[in-house]
Each structure stands twice: as C-alpha cells, then as structure tokens.
Amino acid sequence: MSFLKGFSIGAKLLVLPGLFVLALLVVSGLAYRGLAKQQAVIEEIDQLRFQQYRQVLETSAASQAAMVGAYATGARILESSGQASAEDLESYLEDMQASVDDMRAGLDKVARETRLGEEERALYQAVQEQAAVVGEGLAEFKRTALSDQIQAASLLGRVRADNNGLQGQFNRLLGLQAELTSGAFAEAGATQQQVSRMLVAVLLGGSLLAVLVSLLLRAQIIRPIREIERASIELRDGDLTRRVRVMGRDEIAHTAQAFNELIDSFQQAMRKVAGVAASVGASAEELVGASARVAQSSTAQAGAVGAVSMTIEQMSDGIAAISSHAESLRSCAEASLRGAQDGHLALSRLLEKIDSVRHAFSAIRGSVGDFVESTTAITASIGQVKDLSAQTSMLALNAAIEAARAGESGRGFSVVADEVRNLAQRSALAANSINQLTVKLESQSEVVDEALRAGTVALDDSGRLLSELESTLQQAAELVGDSTRGVDRIADAVSVQNEGGRGIVANVEHIARMAGEGDAITHQVSGAVVSLRELSDELNVAVGRFRYEA
C-alpha cells in the first residue's frame, strides 16, 4: 500500500468503500447470473416441457377418444347384429372423426415448435407417422361401417393394434420429456452450486481484503499524526531540534512540512535572540567600565583644570563607543522582534492547515454516511431477490398441482416441481447470505467512522498544543519589545551625554559648574546600565529554556 502515500486523505479513505462496492457488485453479478440461469430453466420447463407434456397428453387423450368412438360404433353394430341404421352410427362416427381431427391438430402444433432437439423431433416424426396410420385405419373403419357393418367390426382389431403402437410412441415421448426435464434441473443445480462456491470465495476474499486495507489505512493516517503530536510536546518543552518525518504527499504530510518550517523559524529566531542577549550583556559591561571612568574623570576635575581636557576627551571616546553599541543593540532587538512576529505568522498558518484537515475529516465522514445509505439500497434489492424466490416457489406449487391433475403420467413431473421448490429455497438462502454481507459492511463503515473520530481528536490535541506554543511565542515577543525600548532609553541617554560633552568642549571656563552636571549624568548612566543588565539577564533566562542546537 505504499503507492497510496501520494494520494490525499480523502482518496485513501475512499479505497475501502470502493472495495466494498466492488465486492457487492461482484456478488450481485454472480447472484444475478445464477438467478438468470435458474429462471431460464424454469421458463424452459414451464413454457416448453410442461406445454409439450400437456400437448402430448391431450393428443394421446384425443387418440383414446377416437378409439372410444370406434369401440362405441362397433358395440352398436354388434348390438344390432350388423343391422344398425346409418343415422344411428353417424353420431358415434362424428365424435370419432372430431377426436381424430383434434389428434392431428395437436400433432401439427407440436411439429411447429422450433426449440425441440433432434431426438425429440425424431420421436415426434414417428408419432406423426403412427398417428397417420391410426387416422387412415379409423377413416377406413368409418367408410366400411356405413357400407358393410360386419366388415367394419372386423377392422377394429387392426385399428386397436395401430393405436397401441401410437400409445407406445406417446409413452416413449413422455419418457424423453421427463429425461430432458431432469437434465435441465441437474444443470440448474450444478449452476447453483458453482455460484454458491464463487459467492463464498468472493465473500471470504473481500472480507480479508477489507480488514487488511482498514489496518493499513489506519496506520498511514494515525502514524504521522502521532509524529506531529510528539514533536509538538517536545516543542512545548523547549526542544527546537526535533523535526517531524514527512511521509507521503497528503494533507498530514503538508501539515508536517509546515510544522518543520515553523520550528526552523523558531530556531533561527532563538539564535538571533541569544546573540542579541550576548551583545546586550557585553555592552552593559562596557557601560559599567565607561561609567567608572566618567566618575573618575569627574573627581579629577576638582583637582586640576589641566586634566579636564584629557578627561573630556576620554569621556567623548567612551560616549562614541556607547552610541555605536547602542545602535547595534537596537538593530539586533528589532531583528529579534521581526523574527518573533514571523514565527507567530507561521504558527497561524499551521493552525489554519490543521483546521482544513479537520474539515476534510468531516467531509470524509459525510462520504461514509452516503456509503451506508447505498448499503441500505442494496438491502432493498436483496428483498426483491427474496420476492423472486417466493414467486418461484409458487410456480413450483402450481406445477405440482398440474402434475397431480395429470394422474399417474404426471408423477415424474411432481418430482420435478419439488426440485424447483428446493432451488427457490436455495436462492432465498443465497439472498440471506448477501444480506449478512451487507450488515458486515455496515459494521466496517462504523470502524472507519471511529478511525475518523480518533484522527479528529488527535488534530484537536495538536491545535491545543500549538495554541500553548503561540502563547509562549507571544511572551518572547513582549520580552524582545521590552529590550528594544530599553535600548532606546540607552540611546537617548548617550545622546544627552554627547550633547553635554560638546558643551564642555565649547566652554571650558564653566568646567567647575559642568562637573556637577557630569556627576549627575554619570549616575543616570549607571542606573541605565543596571536596567540594561537586568533586561539582558531576563532575556538570557527566556532563551535558555529552548534547546535550539543539536
């Protein structure tokens, strides 16, 4: 499943529903194919075999009815001792002729059927030939009965023998129909067993594949989120050397990349802040030395005017150095402030990414809900399959009733009707198996939904940790702002000292009076240096809680 790393989370989570839908389509196709074959067999039995069987029975009954008419005519002749009137015999002969016409019409209808096999056609041809012989015998009997009644009575034996041969052909034809029907049922049973085995194989394979895909997708989603969570906890504890391993190109991988970029910006900002803190400390120490020198110069002014010029010169040099360092410190402090602001913006972008991932999870959960609705529609289709099985059972019952009406000749078809009912029950069992698979798919959908909830909780925890980090970064920005304002005060004090030094150089005669002012300025510088040192110590403490070097 490594190829899925290049896809989004939405595409990954659609793999499992897609596999479920594919399995359902395969199962539905197999079930439809089996039902279609069973329906074809049932239609063949109902529309061809039963019709042929019924037609053969009707034709056989017509031949028997013709023989009954011939026997009735012979009996009438024997009763009248060969002296029966033509009007007396005409009614019997007309019934016999009508039965012969019915027999011929039935055979002609059977001969027009185009779905018969070669063996059936051969038997029907033999039946038609034998029926023609019987029809000719009965026609001769009719003519003879009207002209020579005694001779007609003697023809009955030959006509009966011909009719017995016809009945034998009918029996062979019925036996062939029963054999063909049994073969069709055997073929349907084999098809049903084959479809059942294929359904079981597809169900087992689909279930195993669904479980495997669920576990793999869960690992690919949860693992990178856990990585981000652990990195966020270490970042909260001040470790800026930790990086999240970027896996794939989905939304979580983009979030991990943005998280790494945020840590990089934090690390650079901390390096700059540490450098600025070191510079502030060094400048404070230099200011302490400069303040000491200014104090010594102020004391020396009271001793000798000649040393004032040298002291003023030294003070000017110290003030120039202080001014240079103050400007450098101001630039570093402004850079630190900009770094903190950039870090805050990067953190805001990361929070937006996490929010977009949360929205993506919500959309995926909606897709899973749609999938559950599709499963419900499949359950309705299974109900239709069960209805079709019930109708098949009803058709089998009707066939059994028809076979019972046929009497002894329909006993074989009663067995066939029982087989049709058994096939309908098996179809209902197959539909129940599909229903069980649908229930299992619904439970797997709940597993996917639970995984989405777990991912959402992990994202919420990451957002909370990043909010704490944002608060920490805001505090660091405030400390840098305080440092910047302290540097501005130092720069203002240095400017005042420069102005005082220029006034001393311009008017040396007022050195005595300006010495007092210089002493006051020295105290101000000392106070500013103490404040600057305190700010430097606080900045070092704030930076010290972060580990930004590997």
Burial of 66 by CB count in 10 Å (0-12 exposed, 13-18 middle, 19+ buried)?
Answer: buried
pLDDT of 506 reads 67
Q: Count CA within 13 A, CB hemisphere, residue 322.
A: 33
pLDDT of 117 reads 75
How confident is residue 1, by pLDDT bands cut at 50, 70 and 90? Answer: low
Q: What is the pLDDT of residues 150-190, one digit of tens each?
A: 887 788 888 888 888 888 888 888 888 778 778 877 877 78
pTM (2 d.p.): 0.36
Residue 259 has pLDDT above 80, yes or no: no
Q: How many CB atoms lie within 10 A of CB 238?
A: 14
Residue 285 has pLDDT above 80, yes or no: no
**C-alpha–C-alpha distance, residues 324 and 526, integer Å:** 18
pLDDT of 303 reads 64
pLDDT of 436 reads 77
> What mean pLDDT is reported for the chain?
73
Burial of 298 by CB count in 10 Å (0-12 exposed, 13-18 middle, 19+ buried)?
Answer: buried
SS3 call for 83: coil
pLDDT of 516 reads 65
Q: What is the mean pLDDT of residues 282-288?
A: 69
Q: What is the mean pLDDT of residues 102-115?
A: 79
The phi, psi pair for 547, rounded to 5°, reads -105, 105
Residue 492 has pLDDT above 60, yes or no: yes
pLDDT of 5 reads 59
Q: How far is CA 381 from CA 42, 328, 373, 375, 435, in A?
A: 21, 80, 13, 10, 10
pLDDT of 155 reads 84
Q: What is the pLDDT of residues 195-253, one digit of tens each?
A: 788 888 888 887 888 788 777 777 777 777 787 788 778 777 777 777 777 766 667 77
Question: Which residues make beta-bridge pairs with 547?
Answer: 239
Residue pair 62/454 in contact by the 8 Å Cβ criterion: no
Q: What is the mean pLDDT of residues 511-527?
A: 65
Q: What is the mean pLDDT of residues 303-327?
A: 62
Residue pair 55/106 in contact by the 8 Å Cβ criterion: yes
Q: How many CB atoms lie within 10 A of CB 294?
A: 23
Residue pair 252/224 in contact by the 8 Å Cβ criterion: yes
pLDDT of 404 reads 76
Residue pair 47/114 in contact by the 8 Å Cβ criterion: no
Q: What is the mean pLDDT of residues 373-389?
A: 70
How confident is residue 546, by pLDDT bands cut at 50, 70 and 90? Answer: low
**C-alpha–C-alpha distance, residues 432 and 27, integer Å:** 12
Query: Which H or E run contains 283?
Result: helix 251-303
* Residues in contact with 422: Cβ distance below 8 Å, sequence separation at least 6, in sequence order: none
Q: What is the DSSP letter of 509?
A: G
Q: What is the pLDDT of residues 394-410, one digit of tens each?
A: 776 776 777 677 767 66
Residue 326 has pLDDT above 80, yes or no: no
Q: What is the dihedral of CA 334, 336, 340, 345, to 10 degrees?
A: 60
pLDDT of 523 reads 66
The phi, psi pair for 239, rounded to 5°, reads -90, 110
**C-alpha–C-alpha distance, residues 229 and 464, integer Å:** 10
Q: How many CB atoms lie within 10 A of CB 118?
A: 7
**C-alpha–C-alpha distance, residues 361 and 365, integer Å:** 6
Residue 453 has pLDDT above 70, yes or no: yes
pLDDT of 515 reads 59
pLDDT of 421 reads 72
Residue 302 has pLDDT above 60, yes or no: no
Residue 368 has pLDDT above 70, yes or no: no
Q: What is the pLDDT of residues 75-93, one digit of tens each?
A: 888 888 777 777 878 888 8
pLDDT of 482 reads 72
Rounded (5°) CA angle 486-489-493: 140
Residue pair 35/428 in contact by the 8 Å Cβ criterion: no
Residue 132 has pLDDT above 80, yes or no: yes
Helices and strands (H, E) in the chain, number of each type? 10, 0
Q: Which domains does the chain have, with CATH numbers?
A: 2-228 (1.20.120.1730), 250-367+461-544 (no CATH)
Q: What is the mean pLDDT of residues 348-353?
A: 71
Q: How many CB atoms lie within 10 A of CB 115?
A: 9
How confident is residue 287, by pLDDT bands cut at 50, 70 and 90? Answer: low
| Residue bearing tokens 């002296």 | 83
pLDDT of 22 reads 78
pLDDT of 364 reads 64
Q: What is the mean pLDDT of residues 323-346?
A: 67
C-alpha Rg value of the chain to the nearest Å? 55
**C-alpha–C-alpha distance, residues 207 and 349, integer Å:** 41
pLDDT of 320 reads 63
Q: What is the pLDDT of residues 522-544, one digit of tens each?
A: 667 667 666 766 776 776 666 66
Q: How many CB atoms lie within 10 A of CB 305?
A: 12
Residue 136 has pLDDT above 80, yes or no: yes
Q: Count CA within 13 A, CB hemisphere, residue 501.
A: 21
